[in-house]
Structure 1
Amino acid sequence: MSIGSPPNNLIYLHCLNRFNKFGPKRLAKISQLKNWGKAFRMSAKELINLGIEENLAHEWIKFRSLLNPRQEEQKLQQANIHLISQDCPTYPPPLKHIAVPPPLIYVRGELKPCSFLLAIVGSRKISPYGKRVASQLSRQLAARQIGIVSGLALGVDAEVHRAVIEMGGYTIAVLGSGIDDASIYPRSNFQLAQRIIKQGGALISEFPPFAPPLKQHFPQRNRIIAGLTQGVIVVEAGEKSGALITAYYALEEGREVMAVPGNIYSPNSQGTNRLIQKGAHLISSAQDCLELFGLTSAPKCNNNKANAPLTEEEKNLLKHFDSEPISAEELAMLAKTPAPQINQILSWLELKGVIKDLGGKKFVKI
């Protein structure tokens, strides 16, 4: 940004996101205006007409008086944080199709257009068994050039990121706080976060810089972990583990859920064993994962997405496209397929460069 130049449009969406009481659903309503500079300057009455509660509209007006968009832009540049909205070509297609996609994400590092990502999550209180399994699975999948997503938490998450880095693979850490240096959480994994960036991976959050790691942020974070990926692997989790929330989000969004079996006497395995009991795929190696997805040779993380062959599901869905845009809802009815499954197939087709998302859940064949 040159001195004296006006702040770019995305900065105004960031400023709106700084008001944490809006949340992703309200922010999505406001972000539909596209002219975020205008949205930023809207009166309380205009916000109320848009569907924002009266008390929040007035609170926002007070909060807005404390914000300087130009200074906000400078802070982001100094922290090497990039803004990505749903209109940006770099916004991950699978994430765009979840029930409540974040209107804006913050990124440090490199968000690569990987054609295949898996999440590996689990307990913060990791056992020697869990540590061994998390490390082995992560290494095996990274060796097959699968991108790995986790949450930078203590325990399984940290072990996963370390193992992928050591294999020279690609990993994304999704945080429940800001991704600026001062906000990275937990602090004990600060150096690990720096290694992820240096290795060519990425830190991602829907929370702005300086956002603290509030308890309510982590379920929101977990939906992004699930939403970025084609499937979630739970390595080790107690009955109340946050990793199970990620698994449930994955189920809701039509992603595959996999779990590693554990000792029936171990509290750390109660959650994973229960997932298997309820229908999660039992896995013990990377090969199990690859076979589940029908991958004889795993795709690489690169820009040549169109080289991956279309599956029968994808071919069948494409039959319902013509020259006109069509909605995900219409496709679900025509294909007689549940919406979460349709969204997953659409994500794959977009990644392969076969269709284009026009926004408003409308798609067109390229």
Structure 2
Amino acid sequence: MDKYAASLPGCPRLGAKHMRSLIEFFHTAENAWRASDKEIRDSHVLHGNGEKAFLAWRHETDPDKVEEQLYKNDIRCCTWEEEEYPSLLRTTANPPAVLFYRGRLPDHERLIAVVGSRKATAYGVQTAERFARGLAEKGIVIVSGGARGIDSASHRGAMEGGYPTVVVAAFGLDRVYPPENRNLFQQIVEEGGALISEYPLGTPPLGRQFPARNRIIAGMCRGVIVVEAAERSGSLITSDFALEEGRDVFSVPGSIYIPSCRGTNQLIRNGAICCTSYEDVLSEYGWEDKEERKTQTKLTALTLEEEMVYRFCCMENEVMAEDILQQSGLSVVKLTMLLLQLQLKGYIKETGAGRYMVLKGES
């Protein structure tokens, strides 16, 4: 973790664009943090109050304490230049310079956002759960905002489908909003998903941050499914961001008599893809002919390190992680990560504490 990069988002008046410019000009976040006041001024990256705020922030903030708080809350961070950063998000017009996350970031581009009204109807909740579950069963990562209504239904459906889901938060990850989703968020992390945010610890869920959050939801996904949305809603803001970034917008048709469906029906009139089942999304991307998720993930290419660990698992009916550790020379942290990744890709399963076996048909 880069403690200097992690310290930048807390600075007032320092947006994502200026953070990226600082890191690019000085080559690293540490160099930008350690540069003299004169070097900062001479760089002309920042101006006026933004420059004053950054110079003051460096004197007031201890990166070691920022790092300590992140570790205490089991939160990591990465910059837009690092490998683990979501690849589609990196290509957007204004990607977060620093992304905080708890859990595991998705490592492929088969991501679909499902968004909609907080005051969803029973029809909307059922539809969101069904779509998310169906897509998750095909190895698609569902991304949403963790809010009440459609968002929460989408995350629950994805977990029912047995695949990780991602919550994009509009607040610091040491907060929980809405509060009743505390257990849901914890379950998402425990089941291989992630909570992500561009906001530092301590940031409350302020209204102005939700539209900015929506650009992340749209930017990291191939497409956005809007299940229910009033004529003016955050979900339509997400769809606007998606269109600006060249992403696809799918809209679920609803009753002409229900206010929360007026926005989705309008999207269809404006040219959004009419979506009546999750198969419509699979068809749009040519994903509909894939077999069940475990078979599909078998076709996912392994990295060299994953291949090595997988071969160790193939040597016996059941293998102990301790034995792999001794023979492979990997660190405990690295081996744990690789074993989890092999499980998510459907190659192996954990049969007990520290014991693994290859899934049938995979060796």
Q: If the length of structure 2 is used for normalisation, what is the TM-score?
A: 0.78
2:330 alignment partner in structure 1:
none
Q: Residue 238 of structure 2 is aligned with which of 246, 252, 264?
A: 246
Higher RCO (C-alpha under 8 Å, 6+ residues apart)? 1
Give the conservation status (yes or no) of the 8 Å contact 1:236–1:268: yes
Percent identity between matched residues is: 39
Q: CA deviation at 1:23?
A: 0.9
Q: Matched residues in 2 for 1:188 and 1:111: separation?
A: 24
Structure 2 counterpart of 1:50, one-letter code = H
1:72 alignment partner in structure 2:
66
1:42 alignment partner in structure 2:
35
Look up the SS of the partner of 1:238 in the other structure.
coil
Q: Residue 60 of structure 1 is aligned with which of 54, 76, 85?
A: 54
Structure 1 counterpart of 2:233, one-letter code = S
Q: Deviations over 1:15-52 (max 9, x none)?
A: 12211420111111112122222211334443343331
Q: Matched residues in 1 for 2:286 and 2:243: separation?
A: 19
1:138 aligns with 2:132: yes
Q: CA deviation at 1:75?
A: 1.0
Q: Matched residues in 2 for 1:261 and 1:131: separation?
A: 14
Q: Matched residues in 2 for 1:124 and 1:211: separation?
A: 22
Give the conservation status (yes or no) of the 8 Å contact 1:44–1:58: no
Q: CA deviation at 1:261?
A: 0.3
Q: CA deviation at 1:305?
A: 4.8
Look up the SS of the partner of 1:83 in the other structure.
strand
Q: CA deviation at 1:211?
A: 1.2
Q: CA deviation at 1:84?
A: 1.1
Give the conservation status (yes or no) of the 8 Å contact 1:238–1:272: yes
Q: Residue 95 of structure 1 is aligned with which of 89, 99, 114?
A: 89
1:29 aligns with 2:42: no
Alignment of 1:39-188 (within 5 A): 39-48=32-41, 49-180=43-174, 183-188=175-180
Are residues 303 and 84 of structure 1, via their aligned partners in 2, closer, same or farther at CA, if it must alter by over 3 Å? farther
Q: Residue 277 of structure 1 is aligned with which of 269, 272, 279?
A: 269
Q: Residue 218 of structure 1 is aligned with which of 202, 210, 222?
A: 210
Larger of the two Rg values belongs to structure: 2
Q: CA deviation at 1:265?
A: 1.3
Q: Matched residues in 2 for 1:178 and 1:31: separation?
A: 22
Look up the SS of the partner of 1:65 in the other structure.
helix
Q: CA deviation at 1:224?
A: 0.6
Q: CA deviation at 1:86?
A: 2.0
Look up the SS of the partner of 2:249 in the other structure.
strand
Give the conservation status (yes or no) of the 8 Å contact 2:112–2:224: yes
Q: CA deviation at 1:14?
A: 1.4
Are residues 301 and 203 of structure 1, via their aligned partners in 2, closer, same or farther at CA, if it must alter by over 3 Å? farther
Look up the SS of the partner of 2:267 in the other structure.
helix
Q: Matched residues in 1 for 2:232 and 2:18: separation?
A: 29
* C-alpha RMSD of matched pairs (Å): 1.9
Q: Matched residues in 2 for 1:244 and 1:47: separation?
A: 39
Give the conservation status (yes or no) of the 8 Å contact 1:115–1:301: no
Look up the SS of the partner of 1:189 in the other structure.
helix
Look up the SS of the partner of 2:136 in the other structure.
helix
Are residues 79 and 243 of structure 1, via their aligned partners in 2, closer, same or farther at CA, if it must alter by over 3 Å? same
Are residues 302 and 91 of structure 1, via their aligned partners in 2, closer, same or farther at CA, if it must alter by over 3 Å? farther
2:343 alignment partner in structure 1:
none
Q: Matched residues in 2 for 1:92 and 1:232: separation?
A: 16
Structure 1 counterpart of 2:259, one-letter code = P
Structure 2 counterpart of 1:247, one-letter code = S
Q: CA deviation at 1:306?
A: 8.6
Give the conservation status (yes or no) of the 8 Å contact 1:259–1:281: yes
Give the conservation status (yes or no) of the 8 Å contact 1:113–1:301: no
Q: Deviations over 1:329-352 (max 9, x none)?
A: xxxxxxxxxxxxxxxxxxxxxxxx
Q: Matched residues in 1 for 2:284 and 2:302: separation?
A: 22
Structure 2 counterpart of 1:47, one-letter code = I
Q: Matched residues in 2 for 1:303 and 1:110: separation?
A: 21
Q: Residue 227 of structure 1 is aligned with which of 210, 219, 229?
A: 219
Q: Residue 182 of structure 2 is aligned with which of 179, 182, 190?
A: 190
Q: CA deviation at 1:164?
A: 1.3
Aligned residues: 297
1:204 alignment partner in structure 2:
196
For structure 2, which runs of at least 5 residues remain unmatched after alignment? 304-363
